[in-house]
Structure 1
C-alpha cells in the first residue's frame, strides 16, 4: 500500500513494442525528480515542513512539485508557462499550490526569460521561499536512481540505447548516469526542439513548437553535455506525426516529446540494431489534444521520414536533424 498518491503515480510502465524496442511510459515523469529533491532538502535541513517552495514550469513539473509538497507538508508556488493547461491549473488550486502564469509569448526564449525574471521578483519580496532550481540544482538527479534500477532489472542484459527529451537535463542525464554506474553499455540519445540553446539550435526557430519542456532558451546547469552520444532536433509537425503513430500502433497516448523520441528511436534502431532501445514518454497526451492530436489526419507516415544527418550545427535545418555529439565540426 502506498503512503501517498505521489508514490503510486510516479511509477512508470515499461511497455514492449518490439523485442528490441520499449517505451518507458510515465503518467507524469517529474514526480521522481520533485520527490527526490524535496526529500533530500528535508533530510539535510535545507527546508522544513511548512516552508514555501517555488519554481518555474511549463507543465508537468508544476504538478509534480505540487504533489511532492502535498506529500511532505510544504507550500508550493509555481510561475508557469502559458502551456500549463486548465486541468493542471485546477489540480494545483485544489492541492493548495498557487500558480501565476506569465504573459503569452511568441517564442520559448521570451517565455522562459519572463518566468525566471518573475521568480527573482518573488524571491526579493519573500526571501524565506526556497527556489527549487530544477534547471540547475543537481538534487533533481537523485529521484531517478530508482527508475534506472528498474530499467536495469527489466531490460535484458546487453547494449542499451536510451532516447528521450533533454529538457532540464535531470531525466535522461540521470538515467544514463545511473545505468552506466550499474555497468550497462548505454548509448544516450537526447531529443531537442529547434530554437533551444542547449545543443546550439537557437538560430533555427520553430514557432509552432509547444513542447517547451524538452528545450531551453537559457543555459541549464543540469545538462551535462558529455553524457550524450547523439542528439536529434525534431520540429512540431514531425513530433505530432510521431505521437500519432505511437498511439495508432501501440495504443500509447503520450505527449509530443514522446512522439519526437519515438521517431528518433525508430531511426536509431535502423542505424544500429545491436541494442535494445528504450524511449521515454514523459507525460500523457491530454494537454495536446486540441493543439496536436485533433489534427491527426494530417500526420505524416513515419516510415517515410528520415533526418538530415549533419556534421556541424550550422547545417541544422527543419524538419528533423541529427548528429553524433559532439559534432565532427563544432
Structure 2
C-alpha cells in the first residue's frame, strides 16, 4: 500500500501495442524524477522539511514538484508557463504551491527565457530557497533507474530501442544510461519539435507548436547528446496524427509528445523489424483537447506519413524529419552549458 498518491503515480503502465511496440505510459511522468530528486536532497541534507523549492515549468514538472513537496512537507513556488491551464493551476494552488504565471506571449521561446530570468530574480531575493534546476541538475536522472529495471525485467535489453521526447534529457537519457549498463547496444531515439535549439531545429518554425516540454529555446545541461542514436523532429500536425492514432487504435489518451513518439516508434520498428521498441507517453491528453484533439478529423492516419530522411539539421523541414545522430556531441548553439552524466 502506498503512503501518498505521488508514490502510485511514479509507477507507469507497460502496455504492449502493435507487434514489437510497447508503450511506457505515465499519468504524469516527471513525478518519477521529482520524487527521487527531492528524496536525494533531503537525504543529503541540502534541504529540510519546511524549505521552499522553486522552479520554472510548462506544466508536467510543476505538478510533479508540487506533489513531491506535498509528500515531504516542503513549500513549492512555480514560475508557470503560459501553457499552464486553469485546471492545473487550481490543482497546484490546492496542493499548497505558490503559482506565479508569466504574462501571455505568442512566443514559447520568450516565455521560457522570461521564466528562467524570473526564477533567478526570486533566488536573489530569497537566497534560502532551493532551485531544483530541472533543466540542468543530474539528480533528475535518479528516478528513472526503477523504470529501467521494469523495462529490463519485462522485456530484457537485447535488440531494444527506446523512443521518447527529449525535453531535459532526464527521462530518455536516464532510461538509456541505466539500460546500457546491461547492454551498451540499447538504442536511443529522441523526439523533438521544430523551433528547439537542443538538436539544431531552431531555424525551422512551426506556427502551430504547442508541444510544450520536449523542446527548448535555451541550452539544457541535462541533455547528453552523445546518448542519442537517432533524432526525429515532429511538427504539430504529425504529432496530433500520432496521438489520434494512439487513442483510436489502442485507447491510450496521451499528450502530443506521446503522439510524436508513437509516430517515431512505428517508423523505427519499420526500419528494423528485428528490434523491440518502447516509447514514452509522458502525460495524458486532457490539456490538449481544445487546442489539438478537437481537430482529430483533420489529420491523416499515420500510415500516410513518412519522415524526410536528412544528413544534417540544415536539411530538415516540417512536418517530420529524421536523422542518424550517431551519438554525436551537441550542436554549437546547444553546448553553451556542459552536459552531465546520469547520477549514481
TM-score when scaled to structure 2? Answer: 0.94
Partner residue of 2:66? 66
1:52 corresponds to which residue? 52
CA distance in 1, matches of 2:157, 2:75: 43
Q: What is the DSSP-based 3-state SS (H/G/I as helix, E as strand, rest coil) of the residue aligned with 1:182? A: coil
Q: How many angstroms apart in 2 are the aligned matches of 1:257 and 1:119?
A: 26
Q: Which residue of 1 aligns with 2:295?
A: 295
Q: Tell me, in whole angstroms, the C-alpha distance in 2 between the residues paired with 1:104 and 1:96.
A: 24
The aligned counterpart of 1:244 is: 244
Give the superposition deviation at 1:183: 2.7
Structure 2, unaligned stretches of length 5 or more? 332-344
Please name the residue that 2:311 is paired with.
311
Q: Residue in 1 aligned with 2:342?
A: none
Greater shift in the superposed pair: 10-19 or 240-249: 10-19
User: In 2, distance between residues paired with 1:309 and 1:103?
Assistant: 38
Q: Secondary structure at the match of 1:283?
A: coil
The answer to whether 1:114 aligns with 2:117 is no
1:274-319: CA deviation from partner (whole Å, max 9, x where unpaired): 1100010000000001011101000112101000000011101111
3-state secondary structure, aligned to 2:62: helix
Deviation at 1:327, TM superposition (A): 9.2
Per-residue displacement from partner, 1:27-79 (whole Å, max 9, x unpaired)?
A: 00000100010000001011110000000100000000000000010000000
SS of corresponding position for 1:18: coil
CA contact (8 A) 2:25 2:281 kept: yes
Query: Residue 24 of structure 2: SS of its match in structure 1?
Result: strand
* RMSD, aligned α-carbons: 1.3
Question: In the superposition, relative to structure 1, how do residues 327 and 30 fare at CA in structure 2: closer, same or farther (>3 Å)?
Answer: closer
Does the 8 Å CA contact 1:27/1:284 hold for their aligned counterparts? yes
Residue 107 (structure 1) shift = 2.2
CA distance in 2, matches of 1:99, 1:311: 43
Tell whether 2:7 aligns with 1:7: yes
Say how many residue pairs are matched. Answer: 329
**Where do residues 94-243 of structure 1 align in structure 2 (5 Å cutoff)?**
94-156=94-156, 158-183=158-183, 185-243=185-243
Structure 1 residue runs without a partner (length 5+): none
* C-alpha deviation, 1:157, in angstroms: 5.2
> Does the CA contact (< 8 Å) of 1:27 and 1:283 recur in 2?
yes
What residue number does 1:43 align with? 43
- Cα distance in 1 for residues equivalent to 2:101 and 2:228: 32
Cα displacement (A) at 1:111: 1.1
Conservation of the 8 A alpha-carbon contact between 1:82 and 1:101 = yes
Deviation at 1:103, TM superposition (A): 1.5
